[in-house]
């Protein structure tokens, strides 16, 4: 990789898509239900239809607000961008990485000595955390491929150095 190349990993946005599409479907269903209930003069649809449309509009609004994490390496700098939250680390200050499993995958970075780096909290709830949150659909294999492409090795968690059997 040359110095001016940009390598980027955009995390899958499954929840964002599902909230946008589900909200649109609910909003259309609520509007259609209200219109049909007014035509047929049915009181239940007149009450429930606008409620379903409002819930659909709220889902669209909430899905639109979801920020998708992006990992980038460009000009000797590693960047993690999620909306207005940006972490910039000089590439030389990263020694290795590890991926935390779970419902929402997370990326941990270590300094060249092997100590985990601390990052300010994304949501502002805690003072710091030792990882950067990704999305639930982000596979470990994609993160491994991205890190291999930029030249960051995985963290060796073995207690004893040497050969593996």
- pLDDT tens digits for range 91-113: 889 999 999 888 778 899 999 98
Alpha-carbon span 26 to 80, nearest angstrom? 34
- pLDDT tens digits for range 35-88: 998 888 888 888 899 999 999 999 999 999 988 899 999 888 999 998 888 899
Q: Do 29 and 75 belong to one domain?
A: no
Structural domain containing residue 60: 12-65
Q: How many domains does the chain have?
A: 2
Give the number of residues written for the chain.
165
Q: Do 73 and 57 belong to one domain?
A: no
For the chain, the average pLDDT equals 85
Kind of pairing between the strands at 106-110 and 132-133: antiparallel
Q: Do 117 and 136 belong to one domain?
A: yes
Q: Where a domain ends, among 27, 49, 65?
A: 65
């Amino acid at each position: 990789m040359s110095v001016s190349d940009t390598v980027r990993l955009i995390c899958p946005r499954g929840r964002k898509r599902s909230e946008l599409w589900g909200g649109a479907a609910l909003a259309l269903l609520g509007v259609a239900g209200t219109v049909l209930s007014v035509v047929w003069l049915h009181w239940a649809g007149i009450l429930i239809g606008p409620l379903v449309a409002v819930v659909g509009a709220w889902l669209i609004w909430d899905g639109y607000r979801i920020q998708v994490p992006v990992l980038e390496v460009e000009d000797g700098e590693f960047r993690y961008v999620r909306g207005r939250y940006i972490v910039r680390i000089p590439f030389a200050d990263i020694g290795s990485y590890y991926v935390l499993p779970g419902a929402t995958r997370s990326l941990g970075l270590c300094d060249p000595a092997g100590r985990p780096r601390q990052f300010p909290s994304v949501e502002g709830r805690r003072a710091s955390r030792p990882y950067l949150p990704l999305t639930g659909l982000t596979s470990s294999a994609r993160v491994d491929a991205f890190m291999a492409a930029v030249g960051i090795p995985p963290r060796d968690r073995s207690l004893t150095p040497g050969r593996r059997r």
